[in-house]
Amino acid sequence: MLIAAMLPMLISKEIIVKYLGTASGWRGILMASLIGGLTPGAPYAVVPLIGGLMSQGMSMAPAVSMVCAWGLWSLGRVPFQAAVLGSQFTWVQVLVSLPLPVIAGFMTELLMKFI
């Protein structure tokens, strides 16, 4: 947990703000969705990682996208899901859920304008 929370410190704050900050727009949401889907690990490692990125300048919309993508189709989850629930179910679940992290990011961006 400690390593995951400190990992964002290795990336410069300017890079995080540029690619995942409030000005990143839809590109930040897409990038965070991709990163979330490629992030392996359990919640006790991933949540502090995202918290560290947020403390370094990641905005709310990419953070929500990243959490959603990690929860829906992370690299660690999909093989286990395929082994237990079958490959057909896994393919359908992944394909149907592909746009959901992006949609969640855009909805978060809209919501943050009213909060």
Question: Structurally, how many domains does the chain consist of?
Answer: 1
Quote the pLDDT of residue 45. 87
Q: Using an 8 Å Cβ cutoff, are 66 and 36 in contact?
A: yes
Question: What are the residue ranges of helices labelled H in the chain?
Answer: 2-6, 13-20, 25-38, 43-55, 60-73, 77-85, 87-97, 100-114
pLDDT at 86: 97
Amino acid letter for position 10 = L
pLDDT of residue 6: 76
pLDDT of residue 113: 92
Structural domain of 43: 2-114
Return the pLDDT at 10.
Answer: 85
Give pTM, 2 decimals.
0.91
CA distance 50 to 43: 10
One pLDDT digit (tens) per residue for the chain, 115 residues: 677 777 778 888 999 999 999 999 999 999 999 999 999 888 988 999 999 999 999 999 999 999 999 999 888 889 999 999 999 999 999 999 999 999 999 999 999 999 8
